[in-house]
Chain A
Amino acid sequence: MYSVILATASRYLLLLLLIFSVFLLLRGHNEPGGGFVGGLVAAAAYALYFIANGIEEARRIVRFDPLLIVASGLLCAASSTLPSLIAGKPFMEAVWIDTGLSFVGKVGTPLLFDLGVYGLVLGITLAIIFSLAEEDTMP
């Protein structure tokens, strides 16, 4: 079942939802939000796009293999533990850098970690949705 309205709307909604998910990720440190929710919202955005446009189209727009996203998320989260080791601090202690720019604020390893969680959650959800969907389209 293909709906022109939904397909058209999903294009704009995808972008909006993705921006929203990044917004959730970034503001998570001070307001409700964070990598987990952000990742889920991003996954929901792609899921909506997939419902409207089909699996092929959704895969094309995601571009990367979901498991690759999972792996890079995990790598990102794991690598956020390294700066503290290099700085000679206890393992996993947060390291913050003040960028001096007011709209960026402070950048630190927890943010990197959260980014990893974001990617991981997004990747896992997409991996499951795509696998299920592909099974659906099997003859």
Chain B
Amino acid sequence: MLGLIATGFLASALAPVLYRRYRENFGWIAVTFPLYMFFSFLSRYPRVAAGEQIRETLPWVPSLGVNFSFLLDGLSLTFALIVTLVGAAVFLFAGAYMKGYEHAGRFFLSIGFFMTSMLGLVLSDNMLLLFVFWELTSVSSFLLIGFNHHKESSRKSALQALLVTGGGGLAMLAGILLLGNVTGTYEISSFYDMNSLITSHAFYPAIVVLLLLGAFTKSAQFPFHFWLPNAMEAPTPVSAYLHSATMVKAGIYLIARLNHEIGGTPLWQDTVLVTGAVTMLFTAALAFRQNDLKKLLAYSTLAVLGTLVMLLGIGSKLAIKAFFIYLIAHSLYKGALFLVAGTLDHEAGTRDVRMLGGLRKQMPVTAATAALASFSMMGVIPLVGFIGKETVYKSVLELESWGVPLISVAVVANAFVVMVTLFAGFRPFWGKRVTTPKHPHEAPLKMLIGPGVLALLGLLFGLFPNVFIASMLEQSARSILSETLSLKIELWQGFNLVLLLSFLTLLLGLFLYFLRFRTEERFAGFALPGFVKPSTWYETSLRGLLAFSRIQTTVIQNGYLRNYIIVIIVTAMSMAFYALFRAADRAIIVPDLSITFYEAALGFIIVVSTFLLMVSRSRLKSIVALGVLGFSIGIIFVIYGAPDVALTTFAIETLNVILFVLVLYRLPRFLKLSRSPNRARDALIALSVGAFMTMMVLYATSFELSSELKEFFASASLSEGKGRNVVNVILVDFRAIDTLGEITVLAIAAMGVVALLKLKSGKGA
């Protein structure tokens, strides 16, 4: 699995190059990549269905408990298959859809990157690894939502999605760390028998809240739902893939994955259940006023996400079964419908449902696909959506305390979903022909295959549920619940209350559909007052954050380098001084006065050159004095046996003088720029730092210098590091990761310096 994921990232990186080469047929090339992944997961299907859990581990940072460990069980395999299958449909579709876009190669890079991250997320068996992939999906979705970056609304939506999901991700990281603290491991499979340990721990409430924050923001649950409809700024293939079939389900995956381990308590179940139910009702109702095809679909996606979360909150066997079927059904039909929306946009030139109608003659295949997917979405027999909805209703009805209010919520929400389907899946194709901005015709083959296959699968899964879903359901249930489910899935369950409710839902949906025509004008100017809308809360807090950073920038980062240095030096000094003061009784400061002649001479040179440096009225003299100072210090290093440091000091001093000479010409005339009180203050600080450092050095030398580290490095540098220069071996071998970090910072700093200088000279020209 590690190989698959590595291949995925590599293949994505190649996408722009390949795109440039095979622009016309790139869709066919791109689709091989998710299809290959799909079939390699499918080949593992029999093993997983037989109950095997395939595990792979490669140590990454074992000392911190971070490993590339992957687990393929029923739950992750289901998600992996959804991700790759919908991915294949979307990639092929995008090959044709993105043709007119600039930077389409870059688009495939981002979406391939996204797909691989999503796969990594669902396969991770390590919470920290999962977090890494989690954030990678956030980043790649940021790039994809903001793909049309010349539009301000795109940039704003991308930032919003990133801030909301990224913020939730950070909360989740805190939750993961707490969880790791409690259990002593980050491996998800090791959590399995720890339910009582985790739920009885004092950290438990915090863990639940933090993890759920991550899951809810990612899966756009109320009150974080607002970013999802805004994310419809993304190109349509992205919406189909990220915002309905995969990424938004990451949060749901997390809840399902940890349900057995940290669930079962009222805190977990009720929070999940209530949030899901509120999301479902609230967002379904919001769909009522939408005219944009994608927005309509987005709000109905939110409703489904709410339903899925609610089912996990119910947590009964039946509810998990419903969750599972509904999850698959939704990915299939919503993926198809989003792609149909993309086709309509592409061929007819608009996504406004009021401007679409009667297109079935021009686009017969698309119309059929849309109808098939829509029937599944509405829950019409014999499609898989029907089984999904029936099972949802049945599991809600089973409840004792929540049953009646929840079933009403479910019916109303589903009625809105039916209304959305009528608008999105039927209205553009049936009824009166409406003139569209572009002359409509059937889409190219590449744009038909993907949605067509997804819609057909919805029919197949509905007709033969036991062939396609049942065995996976058993294994998934084992991950979500503590036991395997071996419930048969029946398409037809007879005439009963559930079927009646299904009819009621359809009727109510039809009623809402016609009600909308009637009330179109009346609701035109209607909007919720700002303070109840979570998106307003987001705007307000974002403005507040910006205002706060402006204030703190003017106070702390005021741009005067000398102030920064004063703050740093004084803080460091006072803290160290405090520590020294605390240890005062143990401090023995005995100045060692046995210095040689040349040491005294060097000291004299240093003092004199420092003095010259300060009082000199010419820059050149100051620089020379500074050079003398630096070289003298270098000689001290030579005397005390640190040739490496001395060598570096000499080289740095040489370059320093050169750099100073270079900037010398550019500086304004030498003036006394600081006022006398400031100079007095600076002198005071400088003197106290000097005095303090002297004390420190004297204090430090009063100790016997022996440490295990010294011994270790002295002996290990030749045997382990194969070098006799201990300093260098430490730098490039023992502590190489520190060095790597430092040189990375240096590289970034260099870019900053060059950019700044270029900017300035650009202005001068």
Do the beta carbons of B662 and A133 come within 8 Å of each other? Answer: yes
Q: Does B706 sit at the interface, judged by CB under 8 A? A: no
Do the beta carbons of B663 and A35 come within 8 Å of each other? Answer: no
| C-alpha gap A97/B739 in the complex (Å) | 22
A119 closest partner in B (C-beta): B743
A48 closest partner in B (C-beta): B658
Do the beta carbons of A114 and B732 come within 8 Å of each other? Answer: yes
Stretch of B200-208, B488-496, B745-753 at the chain-chain interface:
B745-753
B749 closest partner in A (C-beta): A124
Stretch of B254-262, B396-404, B721-729 at the chain-chain interface:
B721-729
Which chain A residues numbered 90 to 139 have a C-beta less than 8 Å away from chain B? 90-92, 94, 96, 106, 108, 110-111, 113-114, 116-117, 120-121, 123-125, 127-129, 131-136, 138-139
Do the beta carbons of A51 and B658 come within 8 Å of each other? Answer: yes
Do the beta carbons of B722 and A120 come within 8 Å of each other? Answer: no
Q: What residues on A are CB-neighbors of B729 within 8 Å?
A: 29, 110
Q: What residues on B are CB-neighbors of A66 within 8 Å?
A: 750, 754
B757 closest partner in A (C-beta): A131
Q: Does B644 sit at the interface, judged by CB under 8 A? A: yes
Interface of A is mostly: helix
| C-alpha gap A124/B753 in the complex (Å) | 9
| C-alpha gap A40/B653 in the complex (Å) | 10
Interface footprint category on A: 35 or more
| C-alpha gap A136/B757 in the complex (Å) | 11
| C-alpha gap A41/B654 in the complex (Å) | 9
Digit string of B725-765 for contact with A (CB within 8 Å is 1, else 0)?
Answer: 10111011100110110011011011101100110110011
Q: Does A3 sit at the interface, judged by CB under 8 A? A: no
Do the beta carbons of B743 and A108 come within 8 Å of each other? Answer: no
Q: What residues on A are CB-neighbors of B557 within 8 Å?
A: none
Do the beta carbons of B723 and A70 come within 8 Å of each other? Answer: no
Q: What residues on B are CB-neighbors of A30 within 8 Å?
A: 723-725
| C-alpha gap A125/B747 in the complex (Å) | 10
| C-alpha gap A85/B613 in the complex (Å) | 51
Least CB distance, A56 to chain B, in whole angstroms: 16
Q: Does A37 sit at the interface, judged by CB under 8 A? A: yes
Partner of B746, one of A78, A120, A139: A120
Which chain A residues numbered 65 to 96 have a C-beta less than 8 Å away from chain B? 66-67, 70-71, 73-74, 77-78, 81, 90-92, 94, 96
Q: What residues on A are CB-neighbors of B655 within 8 Å?
A: 40, 43-44, 47, 125, 129
Q: What residues on B are CB-neighbors of A129 within 8 Å?
A: 655, 658-659, 662
Do the beta carbons of A128 and B659 come within 8 Å of each other? Answer: yes
A90 closest partner in B (C-beta): B59
Partner of A34, one of B666, B731, B765: B731
Do the beta carbons of B61 and A138 come within 8 Å of each other? Answer: no
Digit string of B644-687 for contact with A (CB within 8 Å is 1, else 0)?
Answer: 10011001101100110011011000000000000000000000
Do the beta carbons of B750 and A32 come within 8 Å of each other? Answer: no
| C-alpha gap A71/B60 in the complex (Å) | 25
A133 closest partner in B (C-beta): B662
Do the beta carbons of B725 and A28 come within 8 Å of each other? Answer: yes
Q: What residues on B are CB-neighbors of A123 within 8 Å?
A: 750
Partner of A32, one of B60, B644, B652, B737: B644
Least CB distance, A30 to chain B, in whole angstroms: 4
Q: Does B62 sit at the interface, judged by CB under 8 A? A: yes
Given contacts A71-B747, A77-B743, A110-B723, 13 further A-B contacts (CB under 8 A): A32-B647, A33-B647, A34-B644, A34-B728, A74-B747, A77-B739, A96-B722, A110-B733, A120-B743, A121-B746, A135-B761, A136-B665, A138-B765
Q: Return 16 A-B CB contacts under 8 Å, by A number.
A: A29-B722, A29-B732, A30-B725, A32-B644, A34-B731, A36-B648, A37-B644, A66-B754, A73-B747, A96-B722, A108-B722, A110-B723, A111-B732, A113-B740, A124-B750, A128-B754
Chain B residues near A (Cβ < 8 Å): 59-62, 643-644, 647-648, 651-652, 654-655, 658-659, 662-663, 665-666, 721-725, 727-729, 731-733, 736-737, 739-740, 743-744, 746-747, 749-751, 753-754, 757-758, 760-761, 764-765
